[in-house]
Amino acid sequence: MQQVLYLKDASIFQGDSLILSDVNVEINKGDFVYLIGKTGSGKSSFMKTLYADLPLTKGEGSIVDFDLPSLKEKDIPFLRRKLGVVFQDFKLLTDRTVNENLLFVLKATGWKEKKDMNARVEEVLNKVDMKTKGFKFPHELSGGEQQRVAIARALLNNPELILADEPTGNLDPQTSVEVMEVLREINKNGNTILMATHDYALLLKYPSKTLKCDDSQIYEVIQRKA
């Protein structure tokens, strides 16, 4: 089993405040893992540590072959290239079309050939069923469509791990299910996904390995059949 993430006896801090301690987590290639927990329990802080928005200062950890405690500022763009990050608020650039949003990322990550870039954009939009909407501006799309574009953007560079922080947090229940179906489909095709959520309805509908933040710790929830 190929490991894409492990943390051993790690602590997660926001500045000087200890948010989570004794964190031992392992994610393998192909996994779909939920991260649940109450507001303020540390889900976002955990995710931020994984994409190096917060430093890992205590304990061991490695993500897509980057050692977190020794990670340097200059390594961060290279780490993020191997991750796909999806946020609750989509974070699309509002002043350009869907296609331009995606081409912008490809340019920024070193793609040069126009033909390859256009083909890749079409490919990822196809995966999220948005192929016909590339010419639209974000404000012309529904929340669910914008999130699907954000997922397409996360897929551009074939990430080894997708980190989704409350990807359905701004969506109604029906649209959440649609976005979730897209994530499940991507997972079925081999992508590894860690998804923070407080949407228990999704957990019940699509059961999978679940980690819970509670009382400054993370532990695996064993799902019992009713």
36 binds ligand ATP (CB under 6 A): no
SS3 78: helix
134 binds ligand ATP (CB under 6 A): no
Please give the Cα distance from 102 to 156 (Å, whole number).
8
Strands 193-196 and 209-214: unpaired
154 binds ligand ATP (CB under 6 A): no
One character per residue 174-213, x = contact with ligand ATP (rule: CB under 6 A): ------------------------x--------------x
| Closer to ligand ATP by Cβ: residue 83 or 213 | 213
Stretch touching ligand ATP by CB under 6 A, among 21-29, 39-47, 153-161, 216-224: 39-47
Per DSSP, 104 falls in state H
Please give the Cα distance from 154 to 148 (Å, whole number).
10
17 binds ligand ATP (CB under 6 A): yes
Category of 68 on φ-ψ map: left (φ > 0), alpha (ψ -120 to 50) or beta:
alpha
The CA-to-CA distance between both ends of the chain, in Å, stands at 30
Write out the residues near ligand ATP by the rule CB under 6 A. 14-15, 17, 19, 37, 39-45, 198, 213
